[in-house]
């Protein structure tokens, strides 16, 4: 079974002055980078409120990526707000073929099913650093493309299961506002954004560095 999958055109770019070159992870199978899964704890204004998990499965030239995000805000012993998200991406030969997503925003359900993507299209699932060279991304929360500008904003230390590592912060502007950190190998290692109520949502790595774990190849 081939160890590499071509994810769109090869992307090579320099970061800010004195920053290292981010490896072109778009040309590497995510299982090489992460193993079978990525896991984040999710914090709201510093309080642990949920998790985000991404699972990878390769079967020949086909790659399936499943993302699961759950957040629950409690007031005393009662749930004041709940958000659940699940998506399934199907890639073949490095091209996104299909995407299905379901969003439960405190009881309001949205279901998305899209196909017919073009080479170079990326969704807002963040696991591939190939998205950093794009000026539009498919928003999996609302089911349409957003115009964005993604720029590097310096190198910082980020906590992972392997301790503190060096990672580059990228800032989204335009129709999406977000901050995402990638290490020098192109692994997604942290994220931060504002919730609809203005609260600060932080993703902290539980497993994002790969290492020894059973992969989902077959």
Q: Are 119 and 95 in contact (CB under 8 A)?
A: yes
Query: DSSP assignment, residue 33?
Result: H
Write down the CATH number for the domain with range 25-207. Answer: 2.50.20
* 153 burial via Cβ count (<10 Å: 0-12, 13-18, 19+): middle
pTM of the model: 0.86
CA distances from 78 to 34, 47, 73, 103, 207 (A): 36, 16, 9, 21, 30
Q: Is the dihedral of CA 217, 71, 158, 146 positive or negative?
A: positive
Provide CB contacts within 8 A for 120, sequence distance 6+: 8, 9, 134
> What was the pLDDT predicted at 123?
98
> What was the pLDDT predicted at 216?
40
Report, as ranges of residue numbers, the positions in the chain whose pLDDT lies below 50.
1-21, 23, 213-218
Instruction: Provide the edge-to-edge strand list for the sheet that holds 188-194.
Output: 108-115, 95-105, 78-92, 62-75, 47-59, 37-44, 200-207, 188-194, 178-183, 163-174, 144-160, 136-139
Run of H or E residues at 30: helix 30-34
Q: Are 169 and 181 in contact (CB under 8 A)?
A: yes
Using DSSP bridges, classify how beta strands 78-92 and 62-75 pair: parallel, antiparallel or unpaired: antiparallel
Query: DSSP assignment, residue 158?
Result: E
């Amino acid at each position: 079974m081939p160890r590499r999958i071509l994810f769109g055109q090869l992307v090579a770019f320099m970061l800010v002055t004195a920053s290292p070159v981010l490896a072109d992870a778009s040309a590497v199978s995510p299982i090489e980078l992460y193993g079978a899964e990525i896991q984040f704890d999710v914090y709201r204004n510093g309080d642990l409120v949920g998790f985000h998990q991404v699972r990878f499965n390769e079967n020949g030239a086909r790659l399936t990526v499943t993302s699961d995000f759950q957040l629950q805000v409690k007031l005393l012993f009662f749930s004041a707000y709940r958000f659940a998200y699940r998506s399934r991406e199907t890639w073949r030969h490095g091209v996104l073929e299909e995407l299905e997503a379901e969003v439960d925003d405190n009881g309001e359900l949205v279901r998305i099913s899209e196909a017919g993507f073009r080479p170079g299209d990326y969704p807002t699932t963040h696991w591939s650093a190939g998205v950093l060279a794009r000026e539009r991304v498919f928003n999996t929360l609302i089911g349409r493309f957003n115009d964005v500008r993604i720029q590097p904003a310096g190198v910082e230390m980020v906590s992972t299961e392997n301790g503190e590592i060096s990672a580059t912060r990228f800032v989204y502007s335009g129709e999406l506002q977000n901050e995402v950190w990638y290490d020098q190998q192109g692994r997604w290692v942290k994220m931060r954004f504002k919730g609809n109520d203005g609260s600060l949502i932080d993703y902290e790595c539980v497993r994002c560095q790969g290492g020894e774990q059973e992969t989902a190849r077959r």
